[in-house]
Structures are given as structure tokens and as C-alpha cells.
Structure 1
Amino acid sequence: MKQLLPLGAACLVLAACGGVPGNSVATVDGDPITKQDFQHWMTVVSRSAGQPSPPPLDAPGYVKCVAAKRKLTPTPAKGQPKVTDEQLKTQCKQEYDQARGQVVQLLVSLRWIDGEAEARDVKVTKAEVDRAFAEQKRQAFPKESDYLAFLKQTTQSEADVKARVRSELLGGKIRDQVVKRANTVSDQAISDFYAKNKARFGQPEKRDLRVVLTKDKAAADRAHAALERGDGWKAVTKKYSIDDTSKASAGKLPAQAKGTLDKELDDAVFSAKQGELVGPVKTQYGYYVFTVTNMVAPTQQTLAEAKPTIQQTLGAEAQQKAFTAWLEDFTARWREKTECAEGYRTSDCANGPKPTPTPSVE
């Protein structure tokens, strides 16, 4: 079954929950998230898995879930152990815990984004939501009947879908506001980057070659002699070359950049004169006989020429750094405002388990 939006799509970031009312699973800045809303989205998560009849998520006993799974569990082959109710209960608990985490994450993040948007005076209009919804619907569902089937299967209303579209739009505007402040790159920063990365803005000298690669020096000497007396490259490479790639093109190796060949060959190639027959040159791959057929001089962009690229690179890095710093602050602030009832506590809650740190890449 297609989804108009994945359940986490509305979440700009996921995290965050004093006293929680008895009819609620959590509060965000004192605003309750009701058990009714929680249960509705638990059903949506279960139905969105694509199973026509998903097992009910009836924590904590899981009686109905176990019974449903038992009906779907095949009879074991002779000599194989039977799946126990305890094993099925474990599966039910794992599925419930996973779905509970998704739903708490979704409902909490919707409130966080609303709260952050209000604090920043960020708004989206009904027209903006309707346009984005219509576009996403068009892309996901070619026919209206497909969309209606999706709503029925997942038990969502159109208001549910639009609520997540609205949150997604708010999240995008908040991000734009955050990164806009980091959009300025100084001329000094551009100059420093150019000086440290000058090679990135140039092209080394390149030479077109014709080569014969042989297994030993004796064969290379014979190839060299044949070429000197006027035999064609096609005939010589066919007879002597052990390199199938260059042999197939009569020895042609176009646009070889300085510093990219085997060292011995590189030294010989870039000290040779155009048209000179050189070799044999011993390398780890065998013996080369070659001639340089064309030379392309190295190029180097000036600072002025490289400036737009550097500005874009440094600007993107600054924006990502600013967004990452803001995201950490946003998560910490709103998590502290989020309290969850017992049985619903996740790492999104101030009174829940601590979030798992994101591994850093060295």
C-alpha cells in the first residue's frame, strides 16, 4: 500500500514530556496528547505495514495479538518444535514497542514544530497546505480510487494527512530561517580556501599516447624495432601487446594526466618529446614502448574564476553547521518541555530513557 507521506515525514526533528492527565499519553509544554489520538495513530502504523489484517496491538497482555498470530503460524514440520505463545507474545511486544515509538515520535514532533513555529512567527497558509497536499497526492496516487483505498486501509482521514503536510511545510520554513543567517561568506574565507585547495581548481598536464605493453624486455625491443621500421601500431600491438584495452584501440591511450600513471612510465611520458618513440620502460606491469601523440597544457583557475564555486561550498558548509547546532538546541529545549505517562516513555520524553548518541564520523 502506498503512503502519501512516511510517518516521520512531518518531523523536522524527533525528540521530547510535569504531570500527565489520566486521559493522555504525554504533554508538550503543558499541552496534552490524548490517548485517543495515540490509539488512532497506533492503528495507522499497524495498517500502514501493508498487512490486510494486522494483529491488534493490545498491550500489555497481547492476548488478541497472540491469538491472531497463532492463526497465521503454520503447523511445524514433523520433528520441529511448535512456536509457543510466549514466543508470539515476545513478537507482539516488539511490534507494539516499535509502533509506540513511531507514534510518540510523530505526535510529539508535530507539537514541537508547532511550538517552534509560533515562537519564530513562522506560518503556513491553508492555500500552501492545499497546494503541497495536492502535489504529493498527484505523485503518489494516479487515481482518486487509489487515494481513497489508501485512507481506508490506513484508517487515516484527509485531515490527518494534511496535518503532516502542514508540519512538513512549517519545518521547511523554520530551516530556511535558520540557515539564512549563515549565508554570508567573507572574501578572506574564500581567499584562504583557495590558497589551501588550489589544486582543486586546476587541471594537470595531459598527454595522448600510443603504447605497446609487453611481458619482457626482449618482446619490447622487437616491438620498438618494428615501429621504427614503419610497421603500423595496429599490427604491432596485435602481435606484441599484453594489454587487451590498449590493443583493441591500436595502442591509443588518450588524455593521460600527469601523476596518474605508474611512476616509471609517468616520468618517461612527461619528459618525452611529442612524436618521439620511447622505450622500453620497465614498470610493475611489464615493459612499455610508447610515443606521445598530443599534449594538453595544465590549466589553473584564478581566485576570481574559482570564487563562485568556493562561495557555494563554504556557504553550504556554514548553513549545515548552523542547522546542526540549532537542531541540537531545538531537540534539547523541546525534549525538556515534554513529559510522558508511564508506559509511553521514549527517548523523546524528558522523563524517558536518554537518547542514543549519534556516532561521530572521524
Structure 2
Amino acid sequence: MIEALKHLLEGTRGKAVAAVLALLVVGGVVAVVVSRAGALPDDAAFRYDDRVVTAKQLDDRVEVLGALYGVQRPDDDSKSDDFNRDAAKSMVVSLVLAAEAADRDIEISDKEAQTELDKLIDQQLTGGRDAFVQFLGDSGISERDVLDEIRAQLATSRLVEEVTAEVPAATEAEARATYDEFRDEMVTPEGRRLVNIVVESKSDADRVARLATSSGELAPLATTWSLDGSTRDSGGDLGLITRDQLEKAYGDAAYAATKDAIFGPVKTSYGWNVGQVTEIVAARPVSFDDVKAEIIERLTAEDKLEVWRDFMADVLADAEVEYADAYLPEDPDGPPADVTPSAPVSTPGAPAPSSPAPSSPVE
């Protein structure tokens, strides 16, 4: 119930189609009016109001999503048709949201978007601005593409805040009822404070393990050896971590080790890891006071999400959209296959499956 914050560098790694649909929908219900009046140009994917979006423009959008979030066209040609339809539907939703934000005078300036990008690069991207420039060169997208995506996410977040501003917070009585209903599950799992060093090769990891075992301390080696820029200067400290926050192989090793023991090398998606358990916090029941604030927050979020869904249903019901036959979704008036509440902007260049950046084994 009480979880440590996860690293934002995890990136978006869901199924490609689900990621496309979830990106900007923010829990909404897609319910567009499909208009068949008037012929579309041969190269069109869809028309929204007076704007025609071509197949090339939709492909460019998918390319940006691929660079930023790991969204990729399926290798299986039999799935490409569904992917195109889902991608078109997702872009329609993003345009509807952008139009509604503009109607409400919600604007994100270039300065705001640039400030957010600079913050994300500094805080989340190992290698800083140089790594970001390299990422742009490797991915074939521009900084303007990234800034436009950040601007769209920030505008959508503000739209959600405005639409749900009048939703009252859940009451303590409602929180207590929820706590009583799930009392048996209200347990803080065992946590372990871990120090971790990630290196590129097993031979380097073996050497780090020998040095740490000899001295009894792993932390002093982090500055010299670790590739994880987010923890290197803090002695490789990952904080208090529960087992379900760790990649399986690493979690198995960390939770099999005794206190102060050096464990590894363990291969993860980020490289070869050597760890040390510096503290063990036993599992314990959670009192109502421990989780009251969190339960109230979650119940309030659910109420806000319900209001947002109703709002989206009303707004999208008025949207006039005409899809080309090859891009017409199977259920153009139905909800997306997978939607999530609004999330913080992810770091451009966060490790995708094809190019993981050095980081910790925290998932």
C-alpha cells in the first residue's frame, strides 16, 4: 500500500497499440461522430472538422511516438491494419483535446515547454543535454517535436485540472469504509534498503564484487564504477525498495541476501549489477492513520476520473470526424482499448527496449 517512488526513466513499454491509445486520452471515452459526407483526398487518413490529416502526417506522428515512448509498428503485417486504425483514432482524440483546451484559453508557452524539457533532461537523463542531442540525432526527430509533445501533455493536464476542479475531496468516513473493506490487504511488505552498482560487463561486475566483499562496503565504489548517474553520487543508494519494485532476477538475489551481504553479479536490462543490503524493514500491518491520506487521495482521484469521463463523452460526441476506409476504427464510437489517468511527462530519450540507458534495476 505504501510504495516508494519509482524511477521515471522506466519509460513507456506497454503494448504498442495500447500505448498509442493511452497517450493523450487521459481516461476519456472516445465517442466521435463519423461523418461520411464529402469525399476525402486519396492520401487522407481522416478529416477532423476542416482539417485533413494525411497518412504521411499520421506516420510522422507515430515516428515521434516511437522515439519518445517506444511505440512501434508491429512486425507482423497482419497487425498493421489494426495499428493504423488505432493510431488514427488516438490522433483524433488528441486533436479534440487540443481544440477544447484552446477554446478554454489554455495555452502552454514555448518558455514553459522549454523549462519542463530542461528540467527533465537535468533530472532524468543520464548524460544531460549532450545525451539528449545524441538521442535526437539517433531518432531522427527534432527538439521541436519533443517540445510540441510536452506542450500537448501539459495542456491536457491543465484541462483535466480545470474540468475536475469542483470535485470535492473524499471524506474520512468514505476512506474508513474502504479501509475496513480491504483491511486484510493493508500490509506494508518487507522493504530493503539497497546499494547498487551497475557496470557494462560481467568481468567489471566480478571485480566490483571482489572489492566490496574484501572491504565489506559497496557504496565507496559507486563514484568510480557505477554507470547509473542518478545514484552514483549518493553511493549507489536505491532507497527502501520492495521486492515487486525490482526486476525479478535482481529481486530474487536481493531478497535472498542477508543484511550487509554483497550479492551479484546479476544481469538486468540495464547491465551487470552488484548490490548490498544495508537495512531490512519487516512487513507489518498498516493502520488507518498510516493510509488515510492515501485512500482519500485515491478515492478523490476516482471521483475526478468519473467527471472527466462524462466530460469527454459530451465533448467527443460533438466531434465530426470522417475516416478513410483504411483507417476507420472497428468501433469509432467506443472507448479505447486501454486508457490511463494523466501522468507526468516522461523524459525524452528514456530507455526504450532497443536502447536501454544505464540505470538501476528498479522497475
TM-score by length of 2: 0.45
Structure 1 length normalisation: TM-score? 0.45
Structure number with the bigger relative contact order (C-alpha 8 A, sep ≥ 6) is: 2
The structure whose Rg is larger is 1
